[in-house]
Amino acid sequence: MEIGISTFVETTPDVKTGEVISHAQRIREVVEEIVLADQVGLDVFGVGEHHREDFAASSPAVVLAGAASQTKRIRLTSAVTVLSSADPVRVFQDFATLDAISNGRAEIMAGRGSFIESFPLFGYDLQDYDELFEEKLELLLKIRESEKVTWRGGHRPAINNLGIYPRPVQNPLPVWIGSGGNTQSVIRAGMLGLPLVLAIIGGSPIQFAPLVKLYKRAAAQAGHDVSKLPIASHSHGFIAEDIETAADKFFPPTQQVMNVLGRERGWGHYSRASFDAARSFEGALYVGDSETVAEKIIHLRKNVGITRFMLHVPVGSMPHEDVMKAIELLGTEVAPRVREEISRWEAEQ
């Protein structure tokens, strides 16, 4: 059972003061967070790609590279790379370079993206949303498979027997599929034999169990060894010394972000009642002390089949020292408890 962190490198206004941290400072803080995550024994750190003012990481590979030479063991992944509006050649080159700097610890998490700012920015039509992803994923996997590539598609100039460099340390360079729970994306990941990441950020995580079964069935039918396919989840959460402190610190910035996005997307008001319901044992928020969060992760592993858990923290801007403390607790208290219980449970299966 792997345990890690994901972040969107947020730069939202401070709830109390209204001040906004600079993109540069927040990026430097995230590098410190990655270094700490490595020191406390976490397995993976993911940085999401966005192209808007309230998130600072438009280039996850560069942020991760900033931490790569300062870390020893932690795996470094995008969370996600918005492949639909990117050039797969450049994506592969960037992450192969990260793989070199980290000596074989880079991963790509490819997704369509739940934010659409990158499409007009890079000149793509949202009407081609599905087609762009399918075509670019095909090219990315072809590049991963072979040093010399010949390929033709509808949204990018053709490639005729050209070499793509550098080649990564890992062969193959890991490519995961990020999904919000779309049935077709889950089936596609299974058919391609690619690891799956589910964004479990609402409702009950147990509701994702049928999707995991669907993914495994598609993989098995396509001839892939299901036992070798990891399944990850990305879920919002925060850890503090006690449950109430964790809830009281995490709620205000989370509410702020959810209501900003809610106005953009037509969601209802995000209240403290909504928040408290979501941090119940069956809810999708992993907020509390170390024991509470560990128990919820164990429950997720046993009932949904997740083999990698990524805690997304923070959701809105929080004091850097609070985020660092949460990372420390996840690595030193939550992860050992989860690994021990899951090892015992797996031995009994």
pLDDT in tens, 7-42: 999 999 999 999 999 999 999 999 999 999 999 999
The candidate with the shortest Cα–Cα distance to 236, out of 320, 297, 315, 334, is: 315
pLDDT for position 113 = 81
User: Can you tell me which residue has the tokens 């995000």?
Assistant: 270
The full DSSP string for 317-330 is ---HHHHHHHHHHI
For residues 60-70, average pLDDT: 98
pLDDT for position 258 = 95
pLDDT for position 249 = 98
pTM to 2 decimals? 0.97
Reading the block at residue 269, the tokens are 């008001």
For residues 214-240, average pLDDT: 97
Residue 136: is its pLDDT beyond 90? yes
For residues 70-99, average pLDDT: 98
261-282 pLDDT, tens digit per residue, is 999 999 999 999 999 999 999 9
pLDDT for position 114 = 82
**CA distance linking residue 56 with residue 148, whole number of Å:** 34
C-alpha radius of gyration, the chain, whole number: 19
β-partners of residue 309 are 3, 233
Reading the block at residue 317, the tokens are 């801007």
Neighbour tally for 276: CB within 10 Å: 14
Cis amide linkage into residue 13, ω under 30° from 0: no
**CA distance linking residue 223 with residue 191, whole number of Å:** 8
Angle (CA) 57-37-239 rounded to 5° is: 95
Cis amide linkage into residue 172, ω under 30° from 0: yes
Residue 197: is its pLDDT beyond 90? yes
Q: What is the mean pLDDT of the chain?
A: 97
User: Can you tell me which residue has the tokens 């000149």?
Assistant: 123
Reading the block at residue 153, the tokens are 């598609």
Entry field: residues in the chain:
349
The candidate with the shortest Cα–Cα distance to 130, out of 91, 81, 182, is: 182
Contacts of 283 (CB under 8 A, 6+ apart): 204, 277
Residue 308: is its pLDDT beyond 90? yes
142: left (phi over 0), alpha (psi -120 to 50) or beta: alpha
Residue 176: is its pLDDT beyond 90? yes
